[in-house]
Amino acid sequence: MSTESRFKTGPGPGYSVLNWRTVDIVVAAVIGVSIGVVFWLWGVLWTATEPLFVFFPPAQAVIYGMWMLPGVLGGLVIRKAGAALLTSVAAASVSILLGVPWGVSVIVSGVLQGLLPELVFLAFAYRRWNTGVAVLAGVAAGISPAIKDNITTYVTWPIEYQLAYAAIVLVSAGLIAGVGGRLLTTALARTDALAPFPSARG
């Protein structure tokens, strides 16, 4: 059986995506806290790299996808209804505590960037976890900043800049959160760190 086909296998008989165990909550919190720290570092990186993109500011969105990772990764690892939302909100909350410069608006972003991939996993009845679904979840998470940032932060940009920014955000989200989240899940499964989860099978 190929690695990709194993990813198409859903939870076994008796498994419910609605019944949360203690280990599910703990791992969701660990993922959220860990990526929340990365968020803080990513905020520093975002600010530091702004001068590199003065030639075309929308291009900076190439690194945006990291902010979509917790929701996608939480869903792929825990495979329970609400896991994407919980991990995304946890990561956003930790990044606020660490002092990211965007304040409490990060919580709104965390909710949306967790809820949208959650809807993708729901559309596949929480039974499909392959790379294609992960990329869709990542792109879905990217829809929120692709729209919100253009009507808040970059409202003065010309339309071609805004369209380019939205497109780059979506591509970055699909690659970093979608493909990256899928690869990270596979890597964790190979270390037996995911033994309590269906994701241990890939």
- The pLDDT of residue 15 is 67
> Beta-carbon neighbour count of residue 109 at 10 Å?
21
Cα–Cα distance for residue pair 112/62, rounded to 1 Å: 20
- The pLDDT of residue 145 is 96
Cα–Cα distance for residue pair 69/177, rounded to 1 Å: 4
- pLDDT tens-digit profile of 78-136? 999 999 999 999 999 999 999 888 888 899 999 999 999 999 999 999 999 999 999 99
Q: Where are the domains of the chain?
A: 22-201
Structure-token match 């989200």, residue found:
173
- pLDDT tens-digit profile of 47-64? 999 999 999 999 999 999
Residues in CB range of 186: below 8 A, 6 or more apart: 3, 202
Structure-token match 């995911």, residue found:
194
